[in-house]
A and B are shown apart, each in its own frame.
Chain A
Amino acid sequence: MSKSNKGWFALFTVPLLLVFTTVVIIPFIIGIGYSFVSWDGIPANPKVFVGFDNYATLLRDDRFLTSAWHTIEFTVLALILVNVLGLAFSLLVTMKLRVSNAARTMFFMPNLIGGLILGYIWQFIFTDVFKYLGDKTGFDSVFFNWLIHPQFALYAMVIVFTWQMAGYTMIIYIAGIQGIPDELGEAARVDGANLWQRLTRIIFPLLMPSFTICLFLTLSGAFKIFDVNLSLTKGGPNNATELFAMNIFNEIFGYGHYGLGQAKAIIFFVLVAAVTMTQVIITKKREVQY
């Protein structure tokens, strides 16, 4: 790089990097430091260096390992459902239908409701509405209180997460679809390609960058899920839906084991980063440049 190019590089990237470093990187590094310490999280109370003790403890922590497994289960289900729906929605609403505009807004609507209250609203649906439907329709093998069944409570979380995220990925897929030149589709149509061929041969390959982005965003969102977890199931019943972020939160603020909580976060981060980076690298290789 020439000297002036280096200057431009710095001018363009340093402002953001500076903010980013002070807000994310340094706290993260401090957090790594805390993972070697025994501390209850109260600033004035003593911090004792314990080496790798916290890491040794977490490997014996069944509840953490179970929680990690549930998180993986949740993430895989959510990943598939969110992206299939998000992509389907984006294709539907870009079809220049009369209802496209309204549908686009409606699919995206769930995203506009943030935070905890969302989980509380869904509580009504899974407890009251499902029970009501079960009583009225007789399908009580499907419509019962999902939140007190360990497996179904996890599915309930997948549904709420999908409900929220599908519209989100839809927006990104739409942006991707808009980026595909119309002429390509037209040319294929003239050549006699049917809808399925146009999708799989032209649209999907060109959407690879959007896939990369959406898969990654869903992945990171699912791994970090907290609000919905807290307000919908609180981790219950019997810890069956205590996902990873909540397990850490309980360790740090419930038990007051700050160092142990940090150690969990670090271990999980390393594992997840390894998996997702592989995913990003694989899908990036398949992206078409034009």
Chain B
Amino acid sequence: MKLVKRTSVLLTATALVSLLAACGGNSNDNQQAGGEKLKKISLFQSKVEIAEPLEALAETYKKETGNEVEVWGSAGDAYMTQLQAKLAAGEGPTIFSVGTGAEAIKFKSYYADLSNEAFAKNIAPDMALKDGDKIVGVPYGVEGFGLVYNKSLVDPKDVSDLASFTKTLEKFKAEGKNGLSLSQEAYFLIGHIINTPFALQSDPQGYIEKLNKGEVKMADTKEFQEFAKFMEAIKTNTVNPMEVKYDTQMGDFATGKTAMVHQGNWSYGMLSDYGDLGFEVGMMPLPLAGNDKIAVGVASNWVVNNKADADQIKAASAFLNWMFTSEAGKKAIVDEFKFIPAMTNIDAANLDPLSQTVFEATKAGNTIPWANNYFPQGVIINDLAPATQEFFLSKDMTGEQYLKNLDAAWAKGAK
């Protein structure tokens, strides 16, 4: 089964233009009155950052409709384990969240069909989580990553290809600054940055499938050969990312010690904790193999558990409908969750600078997909990260050797 149509990974310009076109004032949030008493449902999701506003939203929902939603909580990376255990116990939540790609496929037997729900028609084109032709999941919102840079230190013109990128890093090194910072967390060390050479393939998912079967090698693919050179430049000219945590990465960036970080729009939340930065922040593409686009995708989706009883499924749809169409719900998604909405009926307003860049790139169709959503399960943390740690820790390893190691690691992880 193909859970998500291949084309849906590739956010096309047309798709997003239509998203925007619909962002006008049409609000269809006036059908919630009803007053029907629905069964209490539970909601479980992975993003700790929105836990509190979500609880508050459930309160509002109760006030407005009299129906109850119990919001469960879990700490960061414990979510998947807890979800799996609760499903095993027949205690699964009514509404839960899954990541796009491998994770969504893993839980596919639990999805209720949402195709006929009122809110489904508002999902931006190609953004819905699908099982065949059925819509089974609603996107949280879109997110994007690339090179987040300090506008007072870096001119994007100086970071336009491998040569200028390397030169810029060397210049910063000579000045005693860190030109670019990755950090030690698996996704920030390798998971995101390796997305670019994958996304640049003409058919990223097809390439991944071939890689899984051993029909192609990264070492023989042009974009990856250049990727290895980028990683070499980073290793030679910047602070060892193994010494850097996400916290210090963003701290160094906020205080001007680091000129660029490979990060996403979510990192703005960290920067805002530092108050007035004294410089402007921007996001630009990683200029690998001529790439001039930032990577945009859907990280998580809401799904409804089809193992819940019919009344609960009904109540779950009602809640999702309310969240995506009522004023309170739409306001919470944009202002409190701070998502870049992927619904045509929700307007994106007051975005932070990074999210604004992502939003505009999306609008203009200037994006590459998140191919890493389609990696084999666990491969980033279990295989690619260790190989990359080795690369950054051994002084003599060349980019070429590193690429071979990545191929070997991939082969293990894809088993």
Q: Do A and B bind each other?
A: yes
Binding site for B on A (CB under 8 A): 40-45, 116, 123, 127, 145, 148, 234-239, 250, 253-256
Between-chain CB contacts (< 8 Å), 23 pairs: A40-B106, A41-B84, A42-B87, A42-B106, A42-B107, A44-B109, A45-B106, A116-B75, A123-B245, A127-B245, A145-B243, A234-B186, A236-B184, A236-B386, A237-B389, A237-B393, A239-B386, A250-B378, A254-B381, A254-B382, A255-B377, A255-B413, A256-B106
CA distance A145 to B244 in the complex (A): 11
User: How many A-B contacts are there with CB distance less than 8 Å?
Assistant: 60
* Minimum C-beta distance from B248 to chain A (A): 9
Say which residue of A44, A237, A256 sits within 8 Å of B242 (CB atoms). Answer: A237
Could you say which residues of chain A place their CB within 8 Å of the CB of B413?
255
Decide: A253 near B87, CB < 8 A? Known: A40-B106, A238-B389. no
Say which residue of A44, A148, A255 sits within 8 Å of B382 (CB atoms). Answer: A255
Could you say which residues of chain A place their CB within 8 Å of the CB of B26?
none
Interface contact A237-B87, CB-CB below 8 Å: no
Query: Does B390 lie at the interface of the complex (its beta carbon under 8 Å from any beta carbon of A)?
Result: yes
Could you say which residues of chain A place their CB within 8 Å of the CB of B378?
250, 254-256
Interface contact A148-B80, CB-CB below 8 Å: no
Interface contact A42-B84, CB-CB below 8 Å: yes
Could you say which residues of chain A place their CB within 8 Å of the CB of B243?
127, 145, 148
Query: Does B385 lie at the interface of the complex (its beta carbon under 8 Å from any beta carbon of A)?
Result: yes
Could you say which residues of chain B place their CB within 8 Å of the CB of A236?
184, 385-386, 389
Q: Mark B57-83, 1 if CB is under 8 A from A, else 0.
A: 000000000000000000100001100
Could you say which residues of chain A place their CB within 8 Å of the CB of B110?
44
CA distance A43 to B87 in the complex (A): 7
Say which residue of B377, B381, B385, B390 sits within 8 Å of A256 (CB atoms). Answer: B377
Other than A235-B386, A239-B386, give 8 A-B pairs with Cβ distance below 8 A.
A41-B84, A44-B109, A148-B243, A237-B386, A238-B387, A250-B382, A253-B81, A254-B378
Interface contact B109-A45, CB-CB below 8 Å: yes
Binding site for A on B (CB under 8 A): 75, 80-81, 84, 87-88, 106-107, 109-110, 184, 186, 240, 242-243, 245, 307, 377-378, 381-382, 385-387, 389-390, 393, 413
CA distance A234 to B393 in the complex (A): 16
Decide: A238 near B393, CB < 8 A? Known: A42-B84, A148-B243, A250-B378. yes
* Minimum C-beta distance from B73 to chain A (A): 15
Which A residue sits closest to B110, measured CB to CB? Answer: A44
Please give me the 6 A-B residue pairs with the lowest Cβ-Cβ distance, nearest first.
Answer: A254-B378, A44-B109, A238-B390, A237-B389, A148-B242, A255-B378
CA distance A253 to B240 in the complex (A): 29
Could you say which residues of chain A place their CB within 8 Å of the CB of B307?
44
CA distance A145 to B81 in the complex (A): 31
Could you say which residues of chain A place their CB within 8 Å of the CB of B377?
254-256
Which B residue sits closest to A40, measured CB to CB? Answer: B106
Which B residue sits closest to A249, measured CB to CB? Answer: B81
Could you say which residues of chain A place their CB within 8 Å of the CB of B109?
42, 44-45
Residue from A40, A43, A45 having most chain B Cβ neighbours under 10 A: A43
Interface contact B386-A238, CB-CB below 8 Å: yes
Interface contact A148-B393, CB-CB below 8 Å: yes
Which B residue sits closest to A123, measured CB to CB? Answer: B245
CA distance A235 to B381 in the complex (A): 10
CA distance A97 to B44 in the complex (A): 54
* Minimum C-beta distance from B197 to chain A (A): 22
Could you say which residues of chain B place their CB within 8 Å of the CB of A253?
80-81, 84
Could you say which residues of chain A place their CB within 8 Å of the CB of B81?
253
Which A residue sits closest to B89, measured CB to CB? Answer: A43
Which A residue sits closest to B189, measured CB to CB? Answer: A236
Say which residue of A43, A127, A235, A237 sits within 8 Å of B88 (CB atoms). Answer: A43
CA distance A148 to B390 in the complex (A): 10
CA distance A239 to B409 in the complex (A): 12
CA distance A236 to B383 in the complex (A): 11
Which B residue sits closest to A236, measured CB to CB? Answer: B389
Residue from A41, A116, A145, A255 having most chain B Cβ neighbours under 10 A: A255
CA distance A42 to B80 in the complex (A): 11
CA distance A118 to B259 in the complex (A): 32
CA distance A44 to B83 in the complex (A): 13
CA distance A182 to B390 in the complex (A): 57
Which A residue sits closest to B307, measured CB to CB? Answer: A44
Could you say which residues of chain B place their CB within 8 Å of the CB of A254?
377-378, 381-382
Which A residue sits closest to B387, measured CB to CB? Answer: A238
CA distance A116 to B242 in the complex (A): 20
Could you say which residues of chain B place their CB within 8 Å of the CB of A40?
106
CA distance A235 to B186 in the complex (A): 12
CA distance A45 to B108 in the complex (A): 9
* Minimum C-beta distance from B404 to chain A (A): 15
Could you say which residues of chain A place their CB within 8 Å of the CB of B245?
123, 127
CA distance A44 to B87 in the complex (A): 9
CA distance A250 to B107 in the complex (A): 18
* Minimum C-beta distance from B244 to chain A (A): 9
CA distance A255 to B387 in the complex (A): 17
CA distance A253 to B88 in the complex (A): 14
Which A residue sits closest to B185, measured CB to CB? Answer: A234
Could you say which residues of chain B place their CB within 8 Å of the CB of A250?
378, 381-382
Which A residue sits closest to B103, measured CB to CB? Answer: A256
* Minimum C-beta distance from A133 to chain B (A): 16
CA distance A42 to B386 in the complex (A): 26
Which A residue sits closest to B394, measured CB to CB? Answer: A238
CA distance A195 to B1 in the complex (A): 76
Which B residue sits closest to A144, measured CB to CB? Answer: B243
CA distance A127 to B240 in the complex (A): 13
Could you say which residues of chain A place their CB within 8 Å of the CB of B382?
250, 254-255
Could you say which residues of chain A place their CB within 8 Å of the CB of B393?
148, 237-238
CA distance A250 to B307 in the complex (A): 27
* Minimum C-beta distance from B365 to chain A (A): 35
Could you say which residues of chain B place their CB within 8 Å of the CB of A127?
243, 245
Could you say which residues of chain A place their CB within 8 Å of the CB of B186?
234
CA distance A45 to B385 in the complex (A): 28
